Every structure is written in structure tokens, then in C-alpha cells.
Amino acid sequence: MWCMRVGGENIEDMISVVGLGRVGLPIAAVAADAGLEVVGVDVDEKKVKMINRGENPIPEEPHLSELVRAHGGNRLKATTSYDDASECDAFIIIVPLLLDDNHTPDTSIFEDAVRSVGRVMKKGAVVVVETTVPPGTTENLVRKWLEEESGLKLGEYYLAHSPERIMTGYSISRLKEFPKVVGGVDEQSGIKAFEIYKKFIPNLHLVSSARVAEFIKIMEGCYRDVNIALASELFKLANELGIDFHEARKYANHEYCHVHLPSTGVGGHCIPVYPWFLIKEMEKRERLNYARLLRTARELNDEMVNYWAERIVLECKKINKPLKEVKICIKGLTFRKGVRELNHSRNIVLAKLLMNNGLNVFVYDEMFNKEKIEELGFRWIEPKDADIVFDTFELRTILNK
Ligand SMILES: NC(=O)c1ccc[n+]([C@@H]2O[C@H](COP(=O)([O-])OP(=O)(O)OC[C@H]3O[C@@H](n4cnc5c(N)ncnc54)[C@H](O)[C@@H]3O)[C@@H](O)[C@H]2O)c1
């Protein structure tokens, strides 16, 4: 094993980051850059090999390439084997937690990662969950899984939550500047986790519990989901009343009013997911009325594709061709401009909705080549060759002919 601790080394100087994705890799790289020895564990062998060669598997993330080049295979060692992390005294877990078809949290990947940590962690280890989870998950499920696998009891190890609040495309700068919170399942755990993070996160705040830390992240996601639903609703209303929404928004927004931008819906594996953590929990407790606004915002955001499909069809009718022959280009398939992520993308749903209605739909996305677009089940086109282009990020339709 290549990550043996050298004599006299400070125990918290060796940490493991479990999950080297869009969030985990930036954290691992920033920690390595701050001088820590980092063992990154990921099930993706290809990614692991790239990182150890100093190649960045997420090239679109600014500044990450420099850090991976400098530390990959050296202070940041990637591996597919949890055993290679057994010497680490801190484990940061940042793997996805998904929703099933019924919007209920699917903890299978997350549980697998937590249990794997439980099997290798030693007495005195500090485990920090960064994956966004329903409130109470760290102190209940994570604690149970870790203790079942390790045979240790809280106090012999430490457990905390520190939600990841970065945004893809701004990960490195956010880790260096954005306030990060950490909360323990008990006081000692909070303090231990805080001490570790302080070594590489400058703007760090200790909160009273893991549950509070978990809720902070969900609160932020719910705020954005509801705000985007409101923005889309105001946009539709303004349009109906013949008012320029963007002009009105510019002057309406100030310190106490921050209306977001309308959209085709809310995608990615964060914001459309987190409200469900609360909605489903309230459903279980038969308190669904407590989450009515969250539920409505989810519905409104998901329904935005219908609104845009209708608008696109109206525009198509301005073209002197039978409707089903009009070449429509949906420009922008990812959930957000410049981010190579298709998870929960409403732009995919929009393109499919138009296709399922028998329209002549093509797709263009600057993040993907023709082959990838075709792999996703769409026909590719250059925007200039379509009759009509709908830009899913600008929410603009352009008639080419
Ligand atoms: N992407 C964001 O902007 C963002 C922002 C805030 C919080 N988050 C949180 O971070 C979580 C992860 O997001 P991401 O964007 O990094 O996901 P991602 O899909 O980019 O990366 C997840 C990584 O985990 C690895 N993995 C899966 N199962 C594993 C296992 N059992 N052991 C080790 N590695 C495993 C995958 O191979 C992958 O590399 C999200 O579910 C969310 O809770 C994401």
C-alpha cells in the first residue's frame, strides 16, 4: 500500500475524500494544495487513473486542472480501493444521493460508500458527510451504518455534516471564499471536524449540530426552487399583460427583493432534488400541508416545459411550411449553460415533448458533439441549418428563414 503514514506526521494531515466527482475532486485538490495528504476513493477506475496521471476529468471546472496537474498522483492519490484509505484519520464522503421514480430518497450509493468507510476506519477517525441528505440522516442512518461496520461507538470515532455549497463552474473559488458550515452529531465531533476543515477552508463556521448543517443546504435549495418558480410565474404573467419582464425585474430587485430568472424548469442533481427530502418526510409524518409551497413550486417548475413547447409551436406557425416539417433546433440540452450535466435536465424533457408531439426536432449543445447528441436519442443540427432555434438558456426563439 502506498499511503503509509510517515513517522511523526500529524494525524489530521491525512484525509480521504470518498467520491471524486464534480464536488469531491475540487475538495480533494484544494485540500492537497493546502498541504494535506489526500487519498481520493472512487469506484470509477478510469477517473482514478486520470487523476493519478495529473489529468483533470472535469476540464470545464476553472482552475481544477492546475491543481490536479500539481498534486494528482502525489499529494492527491486516487484509488478504487477503500483499503488504501485505512490509514486516514478523516473521511469526507461526497457521493450522490438520488431520488427514485417516486421522488423518495434512494440512499443505495450513499449507504454503500458510508459502509465501505465503516469497514476501514480506525478508532479516533473523523467522518464528515458532505452529500446533501434529509435532515437527521447523519445522526441516524450514517451513524448506524458506520457503527454496524466498524464496531466502534460514537466517542471512539467522530461524526459530522458539512454540506457542500459549491456550484459547478465556481468550485475552487467557492471553496476558498464562500462560507462553509460544519456541525457535529455531538459537540466533540463538531469541534474535531472543524479543526480538520480549518486546514484548507478559510471561511468556516461551526454550527450547533449536524442536523442544522444538513438543513442549511436544503433551505438554500428550497429557496432557489421556489424563487425560480415565482420568476417563471411572473414572467408568464408579464408576457400575458404585454410587459417586459426583464425591464421590470431590473428595477424590482433590491436588497430585500431578489427575483431569480425564469427558465425551462429546474435541473441538475441538486435543486430539484432537495425539496423532495422535506416533502417526503412531511408525507411520512402526515404533515404534507407544511410543505405545500415546496410541492407547488416543484410542480410549477416541472410544468414550464409545457409553456415553452406551446410558445415554440406558436413561433413555428409563423413559418411558411407545414408544422411537422419545420426544422426546430433546441439549443442547449444541459440543465445549465456551460455545465456538462444532463441530470434532471428539463431541456431534455422539452425536446422529447416536442418530438413526442410529432414535431421535427433537432438538438444542438456546445458541450456535446454530434455523436453524443445522437447517443442521447436526438438528431443533431447546426443552429444555422434549422428553420427555428429555441435557445433554452436565453429563452429566445430565432427564426432563420
Ligand atoms: N454538483 C454540484 O454542484 C453540487 C453542489 C452541492 C452539493 N452537491 C452534492 O454532492 C453530491 C455529489 O455530487 P457530484 O456533482 O460530485 O456528483 P458526481 O456524479 O459528479 O460524482 C460522484 C462521484 O462519486 C463516485 N462514486 C459513486 N459511488 C461511489 C462509491 N460507492 N464509492 C466511491 N465513489 C463513488 C462516482 O464515480 C463519481 O465520481 C450530490 O449528490 C449533492 O448531494 C453537488
Instruction: Say yes or no: 343 and 385 in one domain.
Output: yes
Domain end position, chosen among 182, 208, 234: 208
Instruction: Say yes or no: 177 and 307 in one domain.
Output: no
Q: What is the pLDDT of residue 49?
A: 98
| Model pLDDT for residues 260-272, shown as the tens digit of each residue | 999 999 999 899 9
Instruction: Report, as an integer, the average pLDDT of 189-195.
Output: 98
Residue 232 lies in a domain: yes
Instruction: Give the active site residue among 270, 280, 316, 331.
Output: 270
Instruction: Give the active site residue among 217, 280, 327, 331.
Output: 217
Q: What confidence tier does 177 reach under pLDDT thresholds 50, 70, 90?
A: confident
Instruction: Report, as an integer, the average pLDDT of 94-107.
Output: 94
176 is catalytic: no
Write out the residue range of the structural domain in which residue 147 sits: 11-208
Q: What are phi and psi of 38, to 5 degrees?
A: -120, 130
Q: Is the pLDDT of residue 316 over 90?
A: yes
Instruction: Say yes or no: 354 and 250 in one domain.
Output: yes
- For the domain that residue 105 is a member of, what is the CATH number? 3.40.50.720
Q: Which atom of ligand 1 is nearest to the CA of 96?
A: 41
Instruction: Say yes or no: 52 and 160 in one domain.
Output: yes
Instruction: Report, as an integer, the average pLDDT of 353-358.
Output: 98
Q: Please choose from 20, 47, 48, 95 the residue to mutate so as to test ligand 1's pocket, defined by most ligand atoms within 8 A of CB.
A: 95
Nearest protein CA to atom 38 of ligand 1, as residue: 21
Query: Mean pLDDT, the chain, as a whole number?
Result: 95
Q: Is the pLDDT of residue 3 over 90?
A: no
Residue 89 lies in a domain: yes
| Model pLDDT for residues 326-354, shown as the tens digit of each residue | 999 999 999 999 888 899 999 999 999 99
Q: What confidence tier does 13 reach under pLDDT thresholds 50, 70, 90?
A: confident
Residue 1 lies in a domain: no
Domain end position, chosen among 208, 239, 269: 208
Instruction: Say yes or no: 126 and 271 in one domain.
Output: no
| Contact (CB, 8 A) for 166 and 23 | yes
Q: What is the pLDDT of residue 344?
A: 94
Quote the ligand 1 centre to 27 CA distance (angstroms): 12
Q: Please choose from 16, 17, 22, 170 the residue to mutate so as to test ligand 1's pocket, defined by most ligand atoms within 8 A of CB.
A: 22
Domain end position, chosen among 162, 186, 208: 208
Q: Is the pLDDT of residue 9 over 80?
A: no
Instruction: Say yes or no: 87 and 202 in one domain.
Output: yes
Instruction: Say yes or no: 270 and 401 in one domain.
Output: yes
Q: What confidence tier does 401 reach under pLDDT thresholds 50, 70, 90?
A: low
The total number of structural domains that make up the chain: 2
| Model pLDDT for residues 137-175, shown as the tens digit of each residue | 999 999 999 999 999 999 999 999 999 988 888 888 888
Instruction: Say yes or no: 223 and 167 in one domain.
Output: no
Residue 58 lies in a domain: yes
Give percent of the chain above pLDDT 70: 97
Instruction: Say yes or no: 288 and 371 in one domain.
Output: yes
Q: What is the pLDDT of residue 11?
A: 45
Instruction: Say yes or no: 297 and 374 in one domain.
Output: yes
- Whole-structure pTM value: 0.93
Residue 2 lies in a domain: no
Q: Write out 343-366 in H/E/C secondary structure.
A: CCCHHHHHHHHHHHCCCEEEEECC
Quote the ligand 1 centre to 18 CA distance (angstroms): 9
Cα-based distances in Å from 401 to 11, 63, 358, 381: 67, 41, 21, 15
Please identify which residue in the block is written with the cell numbers 480501493: 81
